[in-house]
Structure 1
Amino acid sequence: MTEISLSALTGQLLDAARKAGADTADAMAVEGTSLSIDVLDGKLEHADRSEGIDIGLRVLIGQRQACVSASDISTRTIDEMAARAVAMAKEAPEDPYAGLADPSQLVTDYDTDALELFDPSDEPDPQMLQDDALRAEAAAAGISGVTQVQSASAGYGRNRIHMAATNGFSAGYQRSNRAISCVAIAGTGAGMERDYDHDSRIFQSDLTDATEIGVSAGERAVARLDARKPKTGTYPVLFDERVASSLIGHLLAAINGIAIARGASFLRDAMGEQVLPDHLSLIEDPHRKRTGASRPFDGEGLPTQSRAIVENGRLTTWTLDLATARQLGLQSTGNAARGTASPPGPSVSNVALTQGTASRDDLIRDMGTGLLVTSMIGSTINPNTGDYSRGAAGLWVENGEISHTVNECTIAGNLRDMLQRIIPANDAQTHLSRVVPSLLIDGLTLAGE
């Protein structure tokens, strides 16, 4: 695919918007390549490669806005997009908070190379990806008790992104991604259990070995055999590192500017109040190297920066883009994110929760009798009250030791209360965009048998 100047393409979109009658506009162009290989029973099952460019245009006429997108970059299509967007904006309701950034707010100093978001090494050839997938499958199949490998895959992706606006902003960067995944099944008939493992990195050299991924998937599946329901009651629950980040995800959703502006959040009145134990902090760092959610600037061209979302247990900030900041009478936190088909919205980048000093094994020993959650399904979360209910499976802990496998149970509590009682382990994976260790919470309700 011939490389196209995305800067020139976004400039063409803005010119078309002005000619069509837009007062202001912003544009986005994303050129991407993806390659994925799936294997089954030691043979290639599916190979897919795609290349393309997506473009998006947002136009504003006064306080009315509209967004359009396309995957055709011909001049005719761009002119039609601009005309359609302007026509849509004229019919749209007024939004008193819509608008581009003031030029004084735009980022002026950034270094995309310093973030190491792109692996400059050659794109892996399909045979290399197939070999990785086959090694993962073979490793999983070699685990005693595994009866089938449902899937094993390897993939690669690369994106170039450029954004521009009539306020003078124009900048872009590129990303790459390399991934391996494997899903294994253990047991037979009604007693079958399934589990998985995967890894995704920016740099090929950082990727976990395919054999290790397969072994982990197989061992996890076998560990789920012979599961039983726990007795209904109130117990300590230890959320394994693989699922613990979902709890912090609920906190992040509750402080999103859209939820706060609508009053639809259990933390809507919690600014300055304690939301985590007083020795814990939650830090956002959009400039962490080699991390998938890092970004040199936000979706509206504002600078990104580190911030303490929660400091010593107390909530210090919302997550805001320009529109939600205006609605709340505050300043944007530089957290706008967007795609080609929609206007910007607030979203966090990389976050890290303070880790504890105890290992996961220490917490298992200290929790006495309770549940170690290793997987979760479904959810019933009331965003207004924080009432929490999720299906779970994992390992039963009896007198500080793992006793047997558990499934088909429900965990219930209230997030506002749960988050203030978390006890972190020290096992967070620091390469992830959400660095959250295993979390122990005492006194949660389990519904089993």
Structure 2
Amino acid sequence: MSSEFDSQSLLSRAEQLVDLARNAGADAADAVVVRSHGRSVSVRNGKVESTDSAESDDFSLRVFVGKKVASVSANPGFDLTALAERAVAMARVSPEDPYAGLADDADIARSYPDLELFDPTEMSAEELTDAALAMEGAALAVPGVTNSAGSGASAGMGGLVLVTSHGFSGSYMASRFSRSVGVIGGEGTKMERDHDFDSRLYAADLDDAAQIGKRAGDRVVRRLNPRQVPTGSNLTVVFDPRVSRGFVGHIAGAINGASVARKTSFLRDKMGQQVLKAGLNITDDPLRMRGSSSRPFDGEGIKGEALTMIEDGVLKHWFLSSSTARELGLKTNGRGSRGGTTVSPSSTNLALEPGDIAPEDLIRSIGTGFYVTELIGHGVDMITGEYSRGASGFWIENGELAYPVSEVTIASNLKDMFMRLTVANDIDRKFGVAAPTIAIEGMTLAGL
């Protein structure tokens, strides 16, 4: 597939749509095309369950009449003139939004880098099927694995075309290749479930299918015959990197400018103050080469830059789009993300930067504690910071993972958890959120 040819065609239509909106009476406008193309295969117990292919181009037009704004979307084949006129008519009868508008002209990117986000490799349904079967076969070959919860592989690409009435015109595409497998171990009421997966921009970077399957099988077997542990407080809880990535997501939510503006973040009054344990850093880099969440410009045409959002534990930045920045009396930092017809701030390649201690040494230093491999439920209140999640994992005894544990709840407050973090050195930056193994002191565990 030729991304350059397709992008030029879509750019032309987007430019035409913006011009028609201006002709219909809009003071300003921008047009976005989101392109997606993908193929996926799922198998279970050696048989193909589904093979799917999908392709779409979704057009969105946002128009401004003074401080009034309206957005419309459509699929290919629509009447450009009618869509533009409809959007302007909607804007004229909309209430005023004092923060609405395109990004400031001085901020838009005049050039942007090639971040090597697109791999043109084509993967056939047969190749995807082979990968899915190889993962499942390797998982089922692990002694103690009794059934498959399904295996799948996918390949696809997505792209963004953006044109604004004040001169920005740009596009980029990114590919995505993924593999995942879920397995069941044990029998009857003693069954456990676990999984493994990989996702990359480049097909050649994917983990070997059989390795993914074996890891899933090994994980589920380790979870067999779990025990319960007694309720206790002031416990050190260690988060496996798969879990700590979600924990870093809570930090990202708390420093999102939209949450701050809505007063729904417990960190809304903490700019310039210490919010993480001293020595810890949270970075966000939209321009990382081949980064999972990299983008040469944001959803408003701003070229973002790498930022240390929290430096030495001190909060330095919110994630900001133009409208959110105006509401807070600040300047956008290129974190505007398109979601349908809206623009809202979000992180890009987010990372809790690692420490110097190996995860094994971190666990050894704890003595007794709880190592979490899975969290259940959504018991996190971002207004107060209260945190309560169902969890399973392994009990730490004498500095070693001793036996599997399930059916417990861990609880604390994110404000306290942020200040009691210790981070290991095992970060893996292949996902959009990266975090090492982390230990959090002073948590409560509810068990027996």
CA distance in 2, matches of 1:405, 1:179: 29
1:54 aligns with 2:58: yes
Task: Please say if residues 45 and 150 of structure 2, whose CA atoms lie closer than 8 Å, have aligned partners that are also in contact.
Answer: no
Residues of 2 paired with 1:321 and 1:265: CA distance?
A: 17
Structure 2 distance, partners of 1:365, 1:94, is 59
Corresponding residue for residue 214 of structure 1 = 213
The CA deviation string for residues 385-444 of structure 1, in whole angstroms up to 9 with x for no partner, is 211111111011122122211111111101111111100011111222222101001110
Q: Which amino acid aligns with 2:338?
A: R
In 1: Cα distance, 2:75 partner to 2:405 partner: 47
**What is aligned with 1:243?**
243
Q: Paired residue for 2:384? A: 385
Cα displacement (A) at 1:15? 2.5
Question: How far apart, CA to CA, are the structure 1 residues paired with 2:43 and 2:92?
Answer: 51
Q: State the distance in 1 between where 2:13 and 2:247 align.
A: 41
CA offsets 1:183-203 (integer angstroms, 9 cap, x no match): 001112221111100000001
Partner of 1:150: 149
**Do 1:6 and 1:161's aligned partners in 2 also have CA atoms closer than 8 Å?**
no
Match of 2:397 in 1: 398
Tell me the amino acid that sits aligned with residue 84 of structure 2: A
Give 1:83 shift: 2.8
Deviations 1:2-32, CA, capped at 9 Å, x for gaps: 9641111111221232233322111111222
Partner of 2:164: 165
TM-score (norm 2): 0.96
Q: Are the counterparts in 2 of residues 34 and 156 from structure 1 also a CA contact under 8 Å?
A: yes
Deviation at 1:205, TM superposition (A): 1.0
Distance in 1, Cα, partners of 2:92 & 2:251: 37
Residue number in structure 2 paired with 1:91: 93
Measured after TM superposition, the shift of residue 86 of structure 1 is 2.1
Aligned to 1:69: 73
Contact 1:146 1:187 in 2 (8 A): yes
Counterpart of 1:186 in structure 2 is 185
Aligned-partner SS, 2:160 = strand
Q: Answer yes or no: is the 8 Å Cα contact 2:185–2:192 preserved in 1.
A: yes
1:27 is aligned to 2:17: no
1:6 to 6, 10, 13: 10
The Cα shift of 1:175 comes to 0.6
Question: Aligned partners of 2:107, 2:179: CA distance in 1, in Å?
Answer: 40
Distance of 2:257 and 2:446 partners within structure 1: 34
Aligned to 2:446: 447
Report sequence identity in percent. 45
Q: C-alpha separation between the residues in 2 aligned to 1:37 and 1:354?
A: 35
- Between stretches 207-216 and 423-432, larger displacement belongs to 423-432
Read off the aligned partner of 2:109 and give its amino acid letter. V
Aligned to 2:132: 133
RMSD: 1.4
With structure 1 as the length reference, what TM-score do the two structures score? 0.96
Q: Partner amino acid for 1:331?
A: K
Q: For residue 135 of structure 1, report the CA deviation from its aligned partner.
A: 0.3
- Distance in 1 (alpha carbons) for counterparts of 2:337 and 2:394: 38
Cα distance in 2 for residues equivalent to 1:314 and 1:73? 51
Q: Distance between the aligned counterparts of 1:255 and 1:433, measured in 2?
A: 17
d(CA) in 2 for partners of 1:71, 1:134: 36
Q: Once structures 1 and 2 are overlaid, which stretch shifts more, 131-140 or 286-295?
A: 286-295
Partner of 1:106: 108
What is the alpha-carbon distance in structure 2 between the residues aligned to residue 183 and residue 62 of structure 1? 53
C-alpha deviation, 1:34, in angstroms: 0.3
State how far apart, in whole Å, the 2-side matches of 1:69 and 1:324 are: 22
**Which consecutive segments of 4 or more residues in structure 1 shift more than 6 A?**
none
Q: Distance in 1 between matches of 2:113 and 2:169?
A: 14
1:228 positional shift: 2.3
How do residues 367-378 of structure 1 correspond to structure 2 at under 5 angstroms? 367-378=366-377
